[in-house]
Amino acid sequence: MSELHKFIFDGLPVRGMLVRLTDGWKEVLARRTAASDAFPQPVRALMGEMAAAGVLMQANIKFNGALILQVFGDGPVKLAVAEVQPDLAFRVTAKVVGEVPDAARLEAMLNVHGQGRCAITLAPADTRDGQQPYQGVVALHGDRREPLQALSEVLEHYMLQSEQLDTRLILAANDEVAAGLLIQRLPVEGAGNLAGAARNEDDIGLNDAYNRIAMLAATLTSEELLTLDADTVLRRLFWEEPLRRFELLKGDSGPRFECSCSRQRVGGMLKGLGRDEIDGIVLEQGRVEIGCDFCGRKYHFDPVDVGELFTPVQDQPPGSAAIN
């Protein structure tokens, strides 16, 4: 079962999280395989890392809305998206056009011409109080314009640039497990477990604590992250550190695959395209078929459905529904 482990280091301005997506991640891949258009292996690995990173980032903030992690590419991978809800339900997909080389990394997949971008969007669940979506964007290269090859480096860069948070991220995914370890330095002001410690962190050696723990984290290999259980990973890395763990999140309260698509949303999207456009498709194909890119579910709208879609609700005969 997929799980999320949260922990802090007692007395130190450092927190961490470890996520392992297993059943939900396998379901994502199985749905796509069933639809007989499986993603190339490097894209599957990227999607798994994005799902793991998305869960870590969502669990790291207090925000009532979806966290959407997107990478826009100028290579064979045009787009990869992971979306994580506040309850840690996640979904992930990608759009691939063209050949993805074996063992391709970020540059060969998404940043062939240096135009690749990574965007993190926070979309409020409730916009009635005027809350606007927030979006931060970073390029897929480092400070010296060197192309980054790992998603973890892009996200570390993003955290530092737009959140001013020192972060160490280790991500890995195969077809069984998508996993990630996040270590973050807590901002000193308002950090609960520091209880009014001195402002100048360097003076009191708190930077050292973060650096030491981040360096330990960086020794974790992909192989270890994918094959060892969370207890073993944390014990091996941090056995000399004052690690304090919180309640494990799994099952209904943990990360899991869930798609938020619905017939109503698809109907809304069709309405947005306009009656002429939709009538044209019905004329040509007899009905409209829309597949969800995240879960593979198919939605069909026959001519009667389409008619109802574009009829105002009050004009419909009793008992019918435009959208159900």
Residue in 143, 142, 41 with CA at minimum distance from that of residue 101 = 41
Shortest spacing between CB 94 and Zn ion, in angstroms? 14
**Binding string, 267-306, against Zn ion, x = CB under 5 A?**
-------------------------x-xx-x---------
The count of chain residues that interact with Zn ion, using the rule CB under 5 A, is 6
Residues 247-266 that bind Zn ion (CB under 5 A): 259, 261
Shortest spacing between CB 253 and Zn ion, in angstroms? 22
Shortest spacing between CB 52 and Zn ion, in angstroms? 20
**Residue 235 or 298: which CB sits closer to Zn ion?**
298
Question: Alpha-carbon distance 269 to 291, whole Å?
Answer: 12
Shortest spacing between CB 223 and Zn ion, in angstroms? 32
Give CA 95 to chain center in angstroms: 15
Enumerate residues 6+ apart whose C-beta is below 8 A from 43: 77, 80, 94, 96, 100, 109
Beta pairing partners, 9: 243
Q: What is the greatest pairwise CA distance in the chain?
A: 75
Shortest spacing between CB 291 and Zn ion, in angstroms? 9
- Please report, in angstroms and rounded to a whole number, the separation of the first and last CA atoms in the chain: 33
Report if residue 112 touches Zn ion, rule: CB under 5 A.
Answer: no
CB 15 within 8 A of CB 186: yes
133 DSSP 8-state letter: P
Question: Residue 218 carries which side chain, given as an amino acid letter?
Answer: A
Residues that bind Zn ion (CB under 5 A): 259, 261, 292, 294-295, 297
